[in-house]
Amino acid sequence: MEMTRVNRHDPITFDGHANMVALWAARCAQYGKRTAHREKRLGIWQAHSWAEWFDTSRRIGRALMALGVKRGEPVLILSEDRREWLYIDLAAAAIGAIPAGVYTTDSAKQLAYLAADSGASVLFVENDEQLDKYLTARADMPGVKHVVVLDRDGLAGFSHPNVIFYDDLLAMGGEQEAADPGLFEAAMAEIRPEDPRMLIYTSGTTGPPKGAIITHRNMIFQLVAGRQTLDFSETDEQLCFLPLCHVLERLVSVEAPIANGSTVNFAESPETVFENLQEVNPDTFSGVPRIWEKIYSRVMIMRADAGPVGRRAFDWALAIGDRHARAERPGLGLRLAHKIADVLVLANLRRMLGFANARRVTSGAAPISPDLIRWFAALGVPLVEGYGMTETGGVATVNTVADNRIGTVGPALPGVEMKITDEGELLSATTAR
């Protein structure tokens, strides 16, 4: 597939939109009360609509404007994955601010560095644990004027001149909108493709974390290229569990679902990922090699705990699955044997793991063993490997299910040019359409 070279004055578009905010607003209007997100509350999955996303982000955006946040100013988010993360993310982007995530594992000292380096005046924190990091190092981040706490638990009676709570922020935004409606939409209309969409801090190879600006144009390019290489559907269910501070999770759990209308389910915590995976059974799923290694280990423990008959059945089914996956044109006998193995063993195993509906699963961020990819292929789980980094907007190369060249990270995305320098450094550039 070809993508023609254009200059910066000729922006690419996705469904007619040249920036993520315009695309998001259009999707929220299009899907309305349809479910955009699900998360568990008291053990039950609760649905939240596209309309709720837009309305809540508008209130957050209006409150940020009232707090003095300007275009081009970063807004820090220190929280585990949850729908409010996305609400804040799009609220900040819609008014021309720059959302920037902070890892929940960062120390108070690291938080202070990011606050000072970014120049943010507003910091969102999830709970009392994350708030304590600000309180510990607040003298080292004098530029932070307002801290918004999402959860009140453990903070009854707490008061600090710089700290407000999320529900109070929403009330402030609602009052601002009622008093002077339309400013949020007016701010959205000012967003340009070359404006920053997000600020990603990446450690790189040396020194303290470095901030990389990803523009709206960068992310729109990713969506256009992904549409040509990856199979998306608006009926897809996804599971969000990797940190949203990372560009890959932002791409697969925020930008791509906006583009394609899919539903994002939030894992309860990093410790419950495998249980939530079983509950959601996502259609597409992205993980790092460690996740795939843990799944493999879980299955092999299950095999070891099974009786002699169960172990033999598993080994037989996996061997048939491997032969079938490797065969370019499996014969009738192999196809029949694979059907039997799938019905008796493999389909049940995929369902137990949470991959009953998996149409494509992806590994990235670090090399993965080719043998592990082949093992998942034998199970009937279409695992493909890709490569990218913050500076490429998430993905630079990726295999496809139809053409999965195991042991490689796949060809460059349409519109991506790559070369290796004489010093062995890999360079990449994009040619937009």
pLDDT tens per residue across span 376-396? 999 999 999 999 888 888 898
Per-residue confidence (pLDDT) for residue 271, from 0 to 100 = 87
Q: Write down the mean pLDDT value for the chain.
A: 92
So what's the pLDDT on residue 278? 94
* Token output for 176: 């601002």
Domains of the chain and CATH, by start: 20-267 (3.40.50.12780), 273-430 (no CATH)
Distance (Å, whole) CA 89 – CA 99? 5
What digits encode the pLDDT tens for the residues 39-84?
999 899 999 999 999 999 999 999 999 999 999 999 999 999 999 9
Q: What is the pLDDT of residue 32?
A: 97
Residue 231: what pLDDT? 79
Q: In what order do the strands lie in the sheet with 383-387?
A: 284-287, 360-363, 383-387, 397-398
DSSP conformation class of 394: S
DSSP 221-236: HHHHHHHHHS---TT-
**Residue 10's pLDDT band (cuts 50, 70, 90):** low
Are the C-beta atoms of 6 and 237 separated by less than 8 Å? Answer: no
What pLDDT, on a 0 to 100 scale, did the predictor assign at position 4?
A: 36
d(CA 147, CA 108): 14
pLDDT in tens, 347-382: 999 999 999 999 999 998 889 999 999 999 999 999
* 112-147 residue pLDDT tens: 999 999 999 999 999 999 999 999 999 999 999 999
Gap between the Cα atoms of 112 and 8, Å rounded: 35
The answer, yes or no, to whether residue 234 has pLDDT greater than 70, is yes
The arithmetic mean of pLDDT across residues 174-179, rounded, is 96
Any idea what the Cα angle at residue 250 is, between residues 206 and 141, rounded to 5°? 55
Banded model confidence at residue 3, pLDDT cuts 50, 70, 90 = very low
CA distance 53 to 34: 11
pLDDT at 258 over 80: yes
**Does the pLDDT of residue 6 top 50, yes or no?**
no
**Residue 1 pLDDT grade (very low, low, confident, very high; cuts 50, 70, 90):** very low
Are 148 and 25 in contact by the 8 Å Cβ rule? The answer is: no
List, for residues 391-421, the tens digit of each pLDDT value: 888 898 999 998 999 999 999 988 888 888 8
pLDDT confidence band for 342 (50 / 70 / 90): very high
Instruction: List the alpha helices (DSSP H) in 285-387.
Output: 289-305, 308-326, 332-341, 347-353, 370-379
Residue 262 has pLDDT above 90, yes or no: yes
Q: What percent of the chain has pLDDT over 90?
A: 81
Q: Is 386 helix (H, G, I), strand (E, B) or coil?
A: strand
- 279-305 pLDDT per residue, tens: 999 999 999 999 999 999 999 999 998
How much is the pLDDT for 73? Answer: 97
Cα 40 from Cα 259, distance rounded (Å): 24
pLDDT for res 145: 97
User: Is residue 253 scored above 50 in pLDDT?
Assistant: yes
Spatial distance between the Cα atoms of 195 and 219, rounded to a whole number of angstroms: 11
- CA 251 – CA 293 distance, rounded (Å): 23
* Nearest to 82, CA basis, from 118, 127, 133: 127
Residue 320 confidence (pLDDT) = 96
Tokens coding 77? 């988010």
If you ran DSSP here, which 8-state letter would residue 138 be given?
Answer: G
As given in the structure block, the two tokens for residue 282 are 């996502």
How far is residue 241's CA from residue 271's CA, in Å, rounded to a whole number?
10
Q: For residue 95, give the H/E element and its range.
A: none
pLDDT, residue 433, reads 41
Return the bridge partners of 383, or none: 361
- What tokens does 209 get? 């974390």
